[in-house]
Amino acid sequence: MSAYKEIKKITTHILSQLKARGEKISMITAYDYSFARLFDAAGIDVILVGDSASNVMAGHETTVPITLDQMIYHAQSVVRGVNRSLVVVDMPFGTYQSDSKVALASAIRIMKETGGHSIKLEGGSEVVESIQRIVSAGIPVMGHLGLTPQSIYKFGTYTVRAKEEAEAEKLRRDAQLLQQAGCFAIVLEKIPAALASEVSKGLTIPTIGIGAGGDCDGQVLVMHDMLGINNEFKPRFLRQYLNLQELITSAVKQYISDVKSGDFPSAGESY
Query: For residue 174, what is the domain's CATH number?
Result: 3.20.20.60
- pLDDT at residue 152, rounded to an integer: 76
Report the C-alpha gap between 157 and 138 in whole angstroms. 35
DSSP code of 123? B
The candidate with the shortest Cα–Cα distance to 7, out of 55, 54, 59, 46, is: 46
One domain, residues 106 and 230: yes
Report the C-alpha gap between 194 and 61 in whole angstroms. 30
Domain span holding position 172: 4-240
Per-10-residue mean pLDDT of the chain, 271 residues long, equals: 71 98 98 99 98 96 96 99 99 95 98 99 97 98 94 79 95 99 98 98 98 98 97 92 98 99 98 98
- pLDDT at residue 225, rounded to an integer: 97
Provide Rg for the chain, Cα atoms.
Answer: 20
Report the C-alpha gap between 135 and 143 in whole angstroms. 12
One domain, residues 176 and 257: no
- pLDDT at residue 155, rounded to an integer: 73
Angle 122-124-126 (CA atoms, 0-180°, nearest 5)? 100
Per-state percent for the chain, helix, strand, coil, to nearest 5? 45, 15, 40
Separation of CA 196 from chain center: 17
One domain, residues 20 and 42: yes
- pLDDT at residue 271, rounded to an integer: 98
The candidate with the shortest Cα–Cα distance to 245, out of 255, 258, 232, 259, is: 232
One domain, residues 228 and 263: no
One domain, residues 186 and 254: no
- Give residue 207's region: left, alpha or beta (phi > 0; psi -120 to 50): beta
Amino acid identity of residue 112, one-letter, is K
DSSP code of 51? T
One domain, residues 128 and 236: yes
One domain, residues 247 and 197: no
One domain, residues 151 and 270: no
DSSP three-state, residue 160: coil
- Give the predicted TM-score (pTM) of the model: 0.95
One domain, residues 226 and 255: no
Q: Output the CA–CA distances (angstroms, integers) from residue 246 to 22, 230, 234, 243, 263, in the order listed.
A: 37, 10, 15, 6, 23
**129, 165, 169, 189: the active-site residue:** 189
> Does residue 6 carry a catalytic annotation?
no
One domain, residues 222 and 269: no
Overall number of domains in the chain: 2
